[in-house]
Structure 1
């Protein structure tokens, strides 16, 4: 399976990974033949990259049917929460929490980061998929920090609800494409407080969830918001989600900007080590997440192009690359960048 820029996908190729809608339904199911109509529709939804089946990379698998079903359930419940949170929808919120905990349980039992992340975000489903991916990243990062399973479930719940406070802010501000006014920016910066208030007063959430929601924009140098907390005065849960929230956000296309490249997003996080983000957690981040997803086509410094077929744990920017013979597509060689130290990745191809 390969990850391909949608402009390079040809008609009659086959979708390799399902795309979810904003209410948890399958917008396009893996295995569907991509017609011109489907491709045009995906472009109008703001989709720039999709997974397509490729017999040359049939051993590179990123779709997990059971995981997709769990994500569907979580997104459906998140959609209901967003619509009912201001109406004291206690049942919907509790249902969402149970769905998230089931998802976390599955992820912790399987621990396959390559299949768990890199879901396709559209303009419509961005909010829910972003919250879910942030939660999944936080789960993996917390596991690498040896946090116990019960606390990870609480953290993951807080992560998936981290932006619930935005339901108290006007959509005109949330969806504004131009520069925010000073007053609008002040209002946006209140959403962690709004979120904590909603969850504490209406739904009696745990302290871990409340800290995760209220502190996900705090920074270890004290330059975050809403409280300007510094260092260890920020809970470890807030520090974990701060990293995951930023990384997933900048890796996604938004109505007001294009996504960062994988290397740019990674460098942004690493550059924040010790100032914006917890230094020890960034070291764990490096050992947990890879820069380039499986199936992505990349260009090397020696001019060679190939597809990511494997990862080297602890070396996020040194994957294993599969390079095909131009004259015989079934013939290929593997380049392990951990062993070829004189070659670097220049970027996506």
Structure 2
């Protein structure tokens, strides 16, 4: 009975929200490592130790926690106790992302087995995605930055859809067009369900024959989507055109110049950007900044140069959710860009590269200090897991 009463008082707290002065009553097992120590957190070193051991959540007893006086923070730094509105929107974005992946998994399975696909759920998902982007695009960006190699096709489809909506909104396209773009993004790689998995996930370079087979996923998409009732031509074009090139050397139709409409050109940019910033079985993810350089290198023969410039202005060289190293040696996540230029975001810092240890979570406003971004960092290049801090 006493144990039940105790458990009812405990609050599950992510490590990124843990603060000095909290009383940790319980810590879940981490893999084969059992951590049973409980007690009052009296220093940030204790929190860093938990992070090093891979702990993501702890159970805090608020009745036994204490207020601890700390040094006055720098004016440019805010402690981890931030208002919860952003966290709430991010939780909603995470839930929507999960539902989107579930729907795509279901539809890809139906397509693979030759079953009839209903387009209606995609319209409903697109409406909710547009609503989420309108409410807080940054929350969705931060959530979509969390990626897994084994879920690439699902996450890539959702992210391309999200990027198209975000880019379309930046270009002031109407809501009907945003919806068509979103649905097209979700379905743009549906033809890959007909490509052999050994080719799709081959870790090395494809042979000429294998590449030709890979390119056929576009032909499969045309067959599959042309028979899908209720799907707009714009949504179909997003799928059919995302591998076309302005110089006519793309596929499947070798379209050239003005034959590729605005939404087709947008699809090319969003597809390449997301593929570059994702980890695959055969490559590590690039930072957004490095991916933007690649996009620019593909203009004007492959991609529309002016449209690429607009995309980079829309997303930012250091978009929300990306990892950066600051000039003082701290590592952080770009957290807020609203009303700011790309070089002066708010950065959520949690690790010192100089001292190789986790530090107290601080939100650093680069508009209010002499600290700046030293460089973009790809998460796969790190020896630590930043996931708990998103």
Report the TM-score, using the length of structure 1 for normalisation: 0.74
Structure 2: gaps of 5 or more residues: 1-11, 18-25, 34-53, 58-77, 353-358, 383-390
Residue 182 to residue 320, structure 1, CA distance change in 2 (3 Å): same
What do the CA deviations read for 1:244-271 (whole angstroms, capped 9, x no partner)? 1111111111000111123211221233
Confirm or deny: 8 A CA contact 1:70 1:99 kept in the other structure.
no
Equivalents in 2 of 1:262, 1:36: separation in Å? 32
Equivalents in 1 of 2:32, 2:337: separation in Å? 32
Match of 1:59 in 2: 82
CA shift for structure 1 position 143: 1.1
Residue 93 to residue 291, structure 1, CA distance change in 2 (3 Å): farther
What do the CA deviations read for 1:215-253 (whole angstroms, capped 9, x no partner)? 001122333222222222112111111111111111111
- For the aligned residue pairs, the C-alpha RMSD in angstroms reads 3.8
CA shift for structure 1 position 149: 0.6
What do the CA deviations read for 1:54-87 (whole angstroms, capped 9, x no partner)? x934439466233333222222111111111144
CA shift for structure 1 position 286: 2.1
The correspondence of residues 174-213 of structure 1 with structure 2, limited to 5 A, is 174-203=200-229, 205-213=231-239
What do the CA deviations read for 1:65-116 (whole angstroms, capped 9, x no partner)? 33333222222111111111144533x4424413422323323431423434
Of 135, 140, 161 in structure 2, the residue corresponding to residue 110 of structure 1 is: 135
CA shift for structure 1 position 181: 1.5
CA shift for structure 1 position 289: 1.0
Q: Do structure 1's residue 14 and structure 2's residue 14 form an aligned pair?
A: yes
Match of 2:156 in 1: 130
The correspondence of residues 1-349 of structure 1 with structure 2, limited to 5 A, is 14=14, 35-37=29-31, 56-59=79-82, 61=86, 64-90=90-116, 92-117=117-142, 118-203=144-229, 205-294=231-320, 298-300=324-326, 302-305=327-330, 307=332, 308-311=334-337, 315-321=341-347, 334-336=365-367, 345-348=374-377
Segment of structure 1 superposing worse, 167-176 or 65-74: 65-74
Confirm or deny: 8 A CA contact 1:71 1:103 kept in the other structure.
no
Residue 185 to residue 331, structure 1, CA distance change in 2 (3 Å): closer
Residue 329 to residue 70, structure 1, CA distance change in 2 (3 Å): closer
The DSSP-based 3-state class of the residue aligned with 1:37 is coil
Structure 1: gaps of 5 or more residues: 1-11, 18-31, 40-49
Equivalents in 1 of 2:257, 2:194: separation in Å? 29
Equivalents in 1 of 2:32, 2:14: separation in Å? 11
Confirm or deny: 8 A CA contact 2:335 2:347 kept in the other structure.
yes
Corresponding residue pairs, total: 309
Equivalents in 2 of 1:172, 1:332: separation in Å? 44
The DSSP-based 3-state class of the residue aligned with 1:277 is coil
Residue 202 to residue 275, structure 1, CA distance change in 2 (3 Å): same
Confirm or deny: 8 A CA contact 2:145 2:322 kept in the other structure.
no
Equivalents in 1 of 2:32, 2:174: separation in Å? 43
Higher relative contact order (CA 8 A, sep 6+): 2
The DSSP-based 3-state class of the residue aligned with 2:289 is helix
User: Greater Rg, structure 1 or structure 2?
Assistant: 2
Confirm or deny: 8 A CA contact 2:344 2:366 kept in the other structure.
no
Confirm or deny: 8 A CA contact 1:70 1:102 kept in the other structure.
no
The DSSP-based 3-state class of the residue aligned with 2:302 is coil
The DSSP-based 3-state class of the residue aligned with 2:204 is coil
Residue 318 to residue 332, structure 1, CA distance change in 2 (3 Å): closer
The DSSP-based 3-state class of the residue aligned with 1:198 is helix
